[in-house]
A and B are shown apart, each in its own frame.
Chain A
Amino acid sequence: MDLDYSKKEPIVFPYKHQDIYVKGKLEKVLRPMALVGVKKQNFKMNALIDTGSDRTISFLNPFGYQFGVGDTIEGEPDELRGLTGTEKAFPTHMDIWIGEHRLNVPIFWVTRPFKINEDYEMILGRKIIFDNFDVLFRQKEKKVYFYKI
């Protein structure tokens, strides 16, 4: 199969420089970030594009609650396991927009409060999203291209 994107118009997101303090030591990192509409097209959130994550993740407190997610969740939260430990999270389906494209994806709302110094407000994982877009990372160019399939 040939990969030919020349006739497709991608949605382009940037890699962004960040200064990260790890155990008091400064590190400069470059990370692929997206700006996606959440719940409605014109409310955008900043999301780390994480190919290593199956799921799209955000935080119930404060983001989910302000979207009204707290009114719909019930039962016990799921447990998410990752490299850095485990988190409890409630999954709910919500519309997100990548450019003009709307996708209904499960968002896992982590139950512990968001920490502004430590957390990304959203992690954009593969489920649904990578089924609908070919995602091309061009780190040298500091750009990420989303091609609708």
Chain B
Amino acid sequence: MAIKTALDRFNTMDLRDYAGMAVGIIDGKIAFKDKNPRKVMKRLLDQQEDKEVALICVPKVKMAMSL
């Protein structure tokens, strides 16, 4: 399947490879990753309006968060 969208890319990702990281996706491609989600989000927000971007933060210590 051709990967065209952020959801296509997200579907193929094994999140275990990115534990403790923030990942930036631009037009279906993993563009960068960093432990600092602020940096990744800023770079994504700086992209041109016509690009589809996604911020994927992957925790590695989490039980539940029901509020």
Contact = CB atoms under 8 A, between A and B. Distances in A.
A35 B61 contact: no
Contacts of B19: 18-19
Which of A18, A21, A82 has the largest number of chain B CB atoms within 10 A? Answer: A18
B15 interface: yes
A70 interface: no
A54 interface: yes
Nearest to A119: B59
B4 interface: no
A49 to B, nearest CB: 12
A135 to B, nearest CB: 16
Contact of B66 (A33, A42, A52): A52
Interface residues of B, number: 40
A94 to B, nearest CB: 15
A42 to B, nearest CB: 4
B65 A120 contact: yes
A66 B41 contact: yes
Interface in A49-102: 50, 52-55, 57, 62-63, 66, 80-84, 87
Interface of B: 6-7, 10-11, 13-16, 19-22, 25, 35-38, 41-42, 44-45, 49-67
Interface of A: 13-14, 16-22, 33, 35, 42-46, 48, 50, 52-55, 57, 62-63, 66, 80-84, 87, 108, 114-121, 123, 125
